[in-house]
Amino acid sequence: MRLADRIGRLFGNLFGRQQAEDTLDAELRAYIDELTHRNLSRGVPREEARRQALVEAGGIEQIKEEVRLAWLGNGIGTTVQDIRQACRTLLRSPGFTVVVVATLALGIGASLTMFSLMRAVLWRPLPYPEPNRMVTIQVDARNVTNAGASQGEVRDLKTRSRSLELVSTVDAGGANLEYGGEMEHVAAASVSDDFLPLLGAHPALGRTLDSRLDTSNGQARGIVDRRWAVAAAFWSRAGCDRANRARR
Amino acid sequence: MAATALELLKGTLDLLILRTLDLRAMHGSAIAERISQVTRGAFQVKAGSLFPALHRLEQEGWIKGEWQESAEGRRVRSYVLTREGRRQLAVEKKTWTRIVQAMTSLLESA
């Protein structure tokens, strides 16, 4: 049988059930009629002919049930039966069932944890626009890994590199912040002017860093600006409203 | 008519039906009647095994049922052999011949 036929028949079994039942019913009735007529032609009276035909055919419902089994044999019905059988078997041996379910649960749980961790760490894109265009440049000194770039090196990268659009230094670390008499340790980084534009971040209030404006005499002091940038998350955690922030 | 009806061997009913339909399209009771006649009453196919077999064969795609008018003008569901059915008939014939040969050589061995 061609695969297409098979699939068609499968769907026919699943969805054309009523039609198949009607056909079967009509077919069996026609069969009884045939037997009745044969008996009639032998000279048996009508009532008796029909009675004999029904006796010869055997239980109609039983035949239908057998035919339904034949339908099931080729359809998805067997899958349903398999599932029922599986459930019965599992219920018969609860100890085994508990072990299997526990094994599956632990296995699935562990895989899920691992994959959600990997998703967070490895696959989720960075929450910045065009994260694929963002690179980290690590500058090593002769014997020191990640020693950091000198100002001159950064300036060279900025002015001479044609691959980099914006260059910012990042010196990450932690800081203790005192606010309203409370001390809190926060993640902090010392960055240069282009850091926030590079991440596509816009200030909710005020302006981003500008080393030319942020020096006391209004002149450019260099690339590195030593001000702490405080994230909005902290502000909201500290319970500040907008006005409060504006005052500070 | 033979004195006693033989019990149908498992799996032979399919072959009997396919062979019977090889002649022409027939409906259920005609198939049973024909089998009974040709085997001189040795095989009496009851509705309880005939119809499940017909529907199973139809599911396999070896026969195809369609509503037709019988010779007496009644609506009956006739079955015809499909091309796959003809192929299956050849296969089952060959298998059956091998069974008979094997049985015969066993029974007649010294």
Mean pLDDT of the region B101-107: 92
CA distances for A73 relative to A67, A77, B12, B53, B101, angstroms? 10, 7, 18, 12, 31
> Of A87-96, A174-183, B37-46, B53-62, which gets the smallest average pLDDT?
A174-183
Chain B residue closest in CA terms to A8? B59
The residue whose two tokens read 């379910």 is A101
Using alpha carbons only, give the angle B61, A64, B5 rounded to the nearest 5 degrees.
Answer: 85
Kindly determine whether residue A63 and residue B48, on different chains, have CB atoms separated by under 8 Å: yes
Mean pLDDT of the region B32-46: 87
CA dihedral B7, B12, B14, B17 (to 10 degrees): -70
A35 vs B: CB within 8 A: yes
Residue B18 pLDDT: 92
Smallest Cβ distance to B51: which of A37, A63, A73?
A63
**pLDDT of B72 above 60:** yes
> Of A6-20, A108-122, B50-64, B92-106, which gets the smallest average pLDDT?
A6-20
B26 vs A: CB within 8 A: no
Helix axes B28-38, A17-41, angle to 10 degrees: 50
pLDDT tens track, chain A, 248 positions: 566 766 766 666 666 677 888 888 888 888 888 888 888 888 888 888 888 888 888 888 888 888 888 876 655 556 777 788 888 888 999 999 999 999 999 999 999 999 999 888 887 777 788 888 888 888 888 888 888 888 888 888 888 988 888 898 888 877 787 777 888 787 777 778 888 888 887 777 677 777 766 655 444 333 333 444 455 455 555 555 444 444 44
Residue A234 pLDDT: 55
Chain B residue closest in CA terms to A23? B77
Residue A74 pLDDT: 58
Mean pLDDT of the region B75-102: 91
Question: Which helix (H) or strand (E) segment is A38 a member of?
Answer: helix A17-41
Rounded to two decimals, the ipTM of the complex is 0.80
User: To probe the interface with A, which of B27, B29, B60 has the most A CB atoms within 10 Å?
Assistant: B29
